[in-house]
Amino acid sequence: MPHPSHNDIRTWSIRLSVAVSFVAMTIFGVWAVPQFSKSWKISRSAKLLRDHRHEDAKELLQSLRSKFPRDPVVLLRLARVYRRLGEFENMTTILREASKCGAPSRAIELESTLANAQVGHLSEVGRRFTELLMNPGDDGPDICEAYVNGYFLLHNVDFAFRIIEAWKADYPQDPQPFFFAGVFFDQLGISSKSVPELKRALELAPHRNDIRIRLAKQLFDIQENEQAAIEARIVLKTETANPNAKVILAKCLNVNGKPEEAIRSLEQAISASPKSVEAFSTLGQLQLETHQYGPAVRSLERAVELKPFDSGLRYSLANALVATGQHEQAKPHFQAVSAAKLQLATINQLKDAVAKTPDSADLRYEIGWRLLKFDDPVQGEMWLRGALEIEPNHEKSRNALIEHYQLTGKPGLARLYSADK
């Protein structure tokens, strides 16, 4: 049998080296590609969180969790998303998993603390605010946001704005404190201050449609209709079915004498978001104005179904029912409006009393339960939380919140308040 030549040996060596290299590259690729994808997705989730695109961040992190179920970074970030969305039961579950997977106890404790701060449950965590900001790392904006939310919910507006100003100073490129200031000034009815704050937030984050939508609403409210329509159309360039933008645009079209176009825009908004109270109520009002009473009844009935405590909607529906000859059907809505008016008068009297006796948990409870039932549940929650800040063991306020959260499908919040009983 002839011996292999030097050329044959060299050819075999080359082939062996290529084969070994191929196997090595394949093994490296099998390991490296998922790791690269994971790193990219974690980085992407951080950007989504900065832009407050929470649903997108949740979807991305849930997909990561399915592939890396024991990664503490993924779990902690998913817990943060759940906290920001108010899904506290999911947050607690994920934090337990993160603890078992070796996540730092400080990071786990931070999310729990911020959850309490975020919902105005500050009797225990309020004093930790300064301590947390002494060494915040990358968590400074989240800490500020949670505590601002909490203090505003408790009607401690002065302190909430002090945090916002410090937040702006420490993180001047963060649009969120300007956005928060704009929203809060809007809720306080101070449009002259709200609009400049929202404009500054949009300068810092021109890609954020949530800021642009809020600005468009404010511009419409101060009768800058042309600019409001411009902002709404900018949103629709990137989100063609955005229901909020379509509602704003419809309002602008109607003011400009184009009710037919406005109705089409609202119908598109409802198609994209079948639970949009604003779209149904705006459509119903417009149909009333244009004497389309039958369609107005249907639109306003749906709006009332979605937001039954809104006495203004009930009044509009009652008028639409009368216009179609349905007087008996209108009666209970007129009665509900009358009852709400009486309760709102009582609420105003109680608020005057609170101004004189600010440390009365009982007065805050009396305001809170009435707001829950007759006017604005969000405001009602705020007053009841305020009662618990003054008197942590105020059973009536705690029970009212627990019952409200159970009825409105928020078991996480119900558990949060039940835990302190």
In b/e form, how buried is each residue of 391-410, taking b as 16+ CB within 10 angstroms? beebebbbbbbbebbeeeeb
Q: Give strand ranges (E) for 255-295.
A: none
User: Can you give the pLDDT at residue 18?
Assistant: 54
Residue 351: the pLDDT is 82
The rounded average pLDDT for each run of 10 residues, N- to C-terminus, in the chain (421 residues) is: 57 58 50 67 91 93 93 95 87 93 94 88 81 90 93 84 95 96 91 94 96 96 95 95 94 94 94 94 94 95 92 94 95 92 89 80 91 86 84 90 87 77 56
Domain 32-103 superfamily per CATH: Tetratricopeptide repeat domain (1.25.40.10)
Q: How much is the pLDDT for 30?
A: 45
Measure the CA–CA gap between 403 and 400, rounded to whole angstroms: 5
Q: 417, 421, 418: which is closest to 116 by C-alpha?
A: 417
pTM assigned to the model: 0.79
Domain boundaries, the chain: 32-103
How confident is the model at residue 411, as a pLDDT? 83
DSSP, residue by residue, 372-405: HHHS-HHHHHHHHHHHHHH-TT-HHHHHHHHHHH
CA distance 248 to 252: 6
